[in-house]
Amino acid sequence: MSFFVDSVIMFTSQVLFFGFGWLFFMRQLFKDYEVRQYVVQVVFSVTFAFSCTMFELIIFEILGALSSSSRYFHWKLNLYVILLVLIFVVPFYIGYFVVSNIRLLQRQKLLFACMVWFTFMYFFWKLGDPFPILSPKHGILSIEQLISRVGVIGVTLMALLSGFGAVNCPYTYMSYFLRNVTDSDILALERRLLQTMDMIVSKKKRIAMTRRQMYQRGEDQNKQTGFWGMIKSVTSTQTGSENLSLIQQEVDALEELSRQLFLETVDLQATKERIEYSKTFQGKYFNFLGYFFSIYCVWKIFMATINIVFDRVGKTDPVTRGIEITVNYLGIQFDVKFWSQHISFILVGIIIVTSIRGLLITLTKFFYAISSSKSSNVIVLVLAQIMGMYFVSSVLLMRMSMPLEYRSIVTEVLGELQFNFYHRWFDVIFLVSALSSILFLYLAHKQAPEKHMAL
C-alpha cells in the first residue's frame, strides 16, 4: 500500500516538473519562434522532468521520506528512463531534424536519421576506451557501461562551465574591472558610425546610378567571354565596370568598418549601463558579493591544484568535516546525527537549485546567441541532451558532498563506478577551464582599452 502511495507522490511531482519544463520552453526558449514540431517540446520537458526527479530522490533520501524499497525502485526506474531518453531518443531526433534541414536527403529521412544515430553510438562507445572507468567485472551490455560514458561527458561539461563561471562571476560583479566610459566617448563613436554609413550610402548611390546609365545605354555588363571577347576587352575601354568593381571594393571595406564600429558602440553602451548599475544599491551589493566570490574561486582553484599535485581524493564530505571541526576544535556539543541530516539537506538543496538555475540561464543565453529559425529545433534538442547529461553527472559528483549513510543509495543504484576517477577528472578539467578563462578575460580586458584609445 505504501508503495502505491509513494508511486503516486512520485508521479505527481514528475508531472509538475514536466509542466515547469514545458512552460520554460514556451516562455523563455522559444519566445521568438513558433513551435511547429511539438515532439521537440515534449522531449525537452521529459528530459527536464526526469532529471529533476533524480534530484528529488536525493532529497527524499536525506529526509528519509518514502519507504526505502520504493525509493530504490524509483531510482532504478528513473535511471533507466533517463538513459533511454539520453542515448536513444534525443540523439535520434537530433539526427532526424538535422537531416530534415538538408534538402538532398528529404526522401529517406528515417534511413539517414538511423545512420546518424549509429554513428553517434559508435563514437559514444569509443569514448569509454581511454578512460579507466570500469572494473573488469562488468559485462558488455550492462547499465554501468552507459552510465560511465554519460558520466564522463557530463562531468567534462560541468567542469568547463564551473571553471568559466568561477572566473567570470567575480569579473562581472566587481566594478574594479569596469573601464571608464563617458557620454562623449559614446557620442563620438556614434558620430563616426553615422559618417561611415553616409560614405557607404554615397558610394552606393554612385554604383546604382552608373549601373542604371549602363543599363539604359544597353551596355553589356558582363565581361565578354571567349577568345575574341578577350581581344576586344583589351582594346576597348570597359571603364564602366572597372570603376564599379573599384567602388564596390571600397564599399566592402567601409561596410566591414561600420560593423566594427557598431559592435564597439554596443560594447561601450553596455559598459556605461554597468557603471550606472554599479552605483545603485543592488549594484553595490553585488560588488561586495563579487569580492567574496573571487576569494572562493581562488580557493577552489587552489584546492583543485592540491588535489591533482598530491594525488589526494577527499574521503569525507564537507558537512561531516565541518561538524567534526566544530565539535573537536570549538568544543560545541550538539546532536551530530540530527544536525548532519539537516545541514546536508540544506547544502545539497542549495547546490541543486543553483545548478539547475545556472544551467537554465546559461542554456537560454546560448540559445539566443546561436539559434535561427531553421536550426532552433536541433539546437534545443542538443541543449536537452546537455542538460540531461549535466544533471546525471551532478548526481554522480554530489555523492561526495553527502555523509556516508546517504551515499549508499547512489552507489547501489549507479553501480560500481570508479567515483574517484570522476572527481579527479573534474578537478583537471576545472583547472584547465578556469586558467584558460582567466587568460581569455585578461586578453579581452587588455585589448578593449587599446581599441578605445586608438579612436
Partner 1 sequence: MASLDRVKVLVLGDSGVGKSSLVHLLCQNQVLGNPSWTVGCSVDVRVQDYREGTPEEKTYYIELWDVGGSVGSASSVKSTRAVFYNSVNGIILVHDLTNKKSSQNLYRWSLEALNRDSSPTGVIVSNSDYDREQFAENPVPLLLIGTKFDQIPETKRNEVLTRTAFLSEDFNAEEINLASQTFSSSKASVDCTNPRYLAAGTSNAVKLSRFFDKVIEKRYFTRDPSQMTGFTDRKRFNFKSLHYD
Residues in contact with partner 1 by CB under 8 A are 31-34, 36, 103-104, 190, 193-194, 197, 200-202, 204-209, 212, 255, 258-259, 261-263, 265-267, 269-270, 272-273, 368, 372-374
Dig out the grid coordinates for 445 from the structure: 580586458
Between 263 and 439, whose beta carbon lies closer to partner 1? 263
> Cα–Cα distance between 371 and 379 in angstroms, integer?
7
DSSP state, 454? T
Dig out the grid coordinates for 139 from the structure: 559485462
Tell the smallest beta-carbon distance from residue 199 to partner 1 (Å): 10
> Cα–Cα distance between 43 and 384 in angstroms, integer?
8
Tell the smallest beta-carbon distance from residue 300 to partner 1 (Å): 30
Nearest to 343 by CA among 410, 409, 401, 407: 401
Note the residue count of the chain.
455
Between 192 and 407, whose beta carbon lies closer to partner 1? 192
> Cα–Cα distance between 265 and 215 in angstroms, integer?
40
Tell the smallest beta-carbon distance from residue 269 to partner 1 (Å): 4
CA end-to-end span of the chain, whole Å? 76
Between 145 and 210, whose beta carbon lies closer to partner 1? 210
Cα 299 to chain centroid, rounded: 24
Return the half-sphere exposure (C-beta side, CA atoms, 13 A cut-off) of residue 455. 21
Tell the smallest beta-carbon distance from residue 368 to partner 1 (Å): 8
CB burial of residue 242 (10 Å; 0-12, 13-18, 19+):
exposed
Tell the smallest beta-carbon distance from residue 361 to partner 1 (Å): 15
Between 9 and 254, whose beta carbon lies closer to partner 1? 254
Between 261 and 323, whose beta carbon lies closer to partner 1? 261
Tell the smallest beta-carbon distance from residue 318 to partner 1 (Å): 38
> Cα–Cα distance between 140 and 149 in angstroms, integer?
13
Between 207 and 448, whose beta carbon lies closer to partner 1? 207
> Cα–Cα distance between 399 and 68 in angstroms, integer?
18
Tell the smallest beta-carbon distance from residue 371 to partner 1 (Å): 9
Tell the smallest beta-carbon distance from residue 170 to partner 1 (Å): 21
CB atoms within 10 A of CB 48: 23
For 121, the 3-state DSSP assignment is helix
φ, ψ (nearest 5 deg) of residue 417: -85, 160
φ, ψ (nearest 5 deg) of residue 6: -60, -45
Between 206 and 232, whose beta carbon lies closer to partner 1? 206
Tell the smallest beta-carbon distance from residue 270 to partner 1 (Å): 4
Residue 361 amino acid letter: I
DSSP conformation letters of 141-183? TSHHHHHHHHHHHHHHHHHHHHHHHHHHHHHHH-GGGPPP--H
Tell the smallest beta-carbon distance from residue 243 to partner 1 (Å): 12
Between 315 and 374, whose beta carbon lies closer to partner 1? 374
Between 189 and 297, whose beta carbon lies closer to partner 1? 189
Between 364 and 401, whose beta carbon lies closer to partner 1? 364
